[in-house]
Amino acid sequence: MSKSEYVIQVKNIVKTYNGKIVLNNISFALKRGELLAILGPPGSGKTTLLKIIAGLVKQDAGDVIINGRIVNDLPPYERGVSLVFETLALYPNMSVYENIASPLIAEKKDKEYIDKRIGEITRLLKIEHILDRKADKLSGGERQRVAIARALAKEAEIYLLDEPLSNLDAKIRYALRTEFKKLKSLLGKTIILATSDPSDALALGDNVVLLFNGAIIQEGRPSDIYYAPRNISIARYLTGNILNEVSISIDTHGDDVSTDIGREFSIDPYFLKVLREVNETSIILTSYADVCIIDKFIENCSGIKVIGEFIGYEYRGSEYLLYARKERRIFRSLRTNLPNVTFGEKVEVCIPHRNALLFSSKTGDLIR
């Protein structure tokens, strides 16, 4: 049988629970060694989708094809899948060793092989020292690692990871994500990762599928999604609702441009031309915090510039998130250093046009 180009294909999956549609016509495909991130808010159907692929939940319609073979009627262990559960589902009464060995014991591997394999994996995940501990006596980060180790112990075609970095505090989470990146390139495995954290998905995925309310609303490379979110709600979701937004109304005949933050703003002539060309009367101009600039004086602003009031900042690991207010709108900017201003002082806010995203305020769809 000729091997398919794809390790896994999911075709037109539909799933309903008690008449409510949980997954609506889901399709995607994944090549060997790729990592696909399924990104969506909690309750969007990610877990159900992974369980359908694993064979733990039966779809109402559609096919799951692994290595060119339709596996719809195969039990989980014959599908060549391995799964890290969102709840981790470690066997609490067993030791770490027994947990990781579990899939190997089920495959009736000999002791020598099991020891060798566990040795490799635990070294990789840096958990060799806790092999004898019982699974219910572990810290959150250790539990996460053990769950990943158990999934990796199994020789599978495809590894499914359901929120592998959730339920961890920010510091461990960040460390584990970096480590995971290394691990991914080291292992060269085919992975589907479900997450509700955009930064996880964008940082780790070769491709990202955005799942909202059981339907795929956008898919593509992380940069495509990040720099061209199909509509404004995706953009808001990707930034965790700290998107900078300005509504702009353009009078197509005259020169009159008005915004929802008053009339005191300056606009780059080139940018104004761009806005005119869009041919929409009402636009939402948005920019991510790392693009927006907040400073005492901004000399060249190649976009729209307003004067606001500096209202505070918070320190985020290596960067500062600055807040400024104009009218009732809050602007946020991610900078590596603090500007020389005090709270309540006037600051200039610049949204450069180059990386700004324009959405139609009628439909919310991306214009440019």
Partner 1 sequence: MHKLLSKGVLNKGRTLNPWLMILPAFLILLVFNIFPLLWSLGISFHRFSVIIREIPRYVGGLNYINVITSAEAWDRIIRTGIYLAYSLSFQFGLGLLLSLLLFEDFKGKRILITLFTIPLMIAPVASSLFFRYLFDENLGPVNNFLKHVVGYGPLWFSSDISPLGIPYALFTVILVETWIWTPFVMFLLTAGMSSIPQDLIEQSRVDSLKFRHKFRYVILPYIKPMIALALIFRFMDSLKTFDSIYILTAGGPGATTELISVYIYRVAFERWDFGSATALSYLVLVIVIFMTNVFMRYILGGERS
Partner 2 sequence: MRKRNQYTTPLILYRVRKSLKFALLIALLMIYLIPIYGMFSLAFKPRAEIYSGLFELTRITLENFEEAYRYGAYSAITNSIIVTVGGVSIALILAVLASYAFSRFAIKGKNILMFYILSTRMMPPITLIIPIFIMFFNIGLKGTYLGLILVYAMMSIPLSIWMIKSFIDDIPKDIDQAALVDGHSTMFILFKIIIPMVIPGIAASAAFAAIMLWNEFLFALLLSGVDTKPTSVLLSSIRGERGFNWGRVAAIEVVYILPIIVLVFWLQKYMLRGLTFGTVRR
How far is CA 32 from each of CA 5, 70, 121, 245, 314, rounded to the nearest angstrom?
8, 17, 21, 40, 41
Q: Is 254 in the site for partner 1 (CB under 8 A)?
A: no
What is the CB-side half-sphere exposure of residue 247 using CA atoms within 13 A? Answer: 11
Coil, strand or helix: which one is 343? coil
Question: 128 is in the binding site of which of partner 1, partner 2, none (Cβ under 5 to 8 A by kind)?
Answer: none
- CB distance 335 to 276 below 8 Å: no
The yes or no reply on residue 95 touching partner 2 (CB under 8 A) is no
**CA neighbor of 204 nearest in space, from 240, 235, 176:** 176
Task: Tell me: does residue 59 bind partner 2 (CB under 8 A).
Answer: no
Out of 1, 2, 19, 75, the residue judged to bind partner 1 by CB under 8 A: 75
Does residue 54 belong to the site contacting partner 2 (CB under 8 A)?
Answer: yes
Contacts of 334 (CB under 8 A, 6+ apart): 289, 290, 292, 316, 319, 320, 321, 322
| Shortest distance (Å) from residue 348 CB to partner 2 | 51
- Of 84 and 306, the one with the shorter C-beta distance to partner 2 is 84
Which is nearer to partner 1, 54 or 283 (by Cβ)? 54
The residue with tokens 């101009």 is 285
Interface stretch with partner 2, choices 33-41, 101-109, 340-348, 360-368 (CB under 8 A): 101-109
Q: Is the CB of 58 or the CB of 182 nearer to partner 1? A: 58
83 sits near partner 2 (criterion: CB under 8 A): yes
| Helix-helix angle 111-125:140-153, to 10 degrees | 140
| Interaction of residue 57 with partner 1, rule CB under 8 A | yes
Find the binding residues for partner 1 in span 202-221 (CB under 8 A).
none
Quick one: what does residue 73 bind among partner 2, partner 1, none, with the CB cut-off 5 to 8 Å set by partner type?
partner 1
Sequence length of the chain is: 368
**Which string of x and - marks every residue 6-45 that binds partner 1 (by CB under 8 A)?**
----------------------------------------
Q: Which helix (H) or strand (E) holds 160?
A: strand 158-162
Quick check: 43 binds partner 2 (CB under 8 A)?
no
Q: How far apart are CA 79 and CA 194, in angstroms?
A: 19
Which one-letter DSSP state was computed for residue 252?
A: S
Kindly list the residues in this chain that would bind partner 2 in the complex (CB under 8 A): 51, 54-56, 75-77, 81-83, 85-87, 89-94, 102-103, 106-107, 150, 154
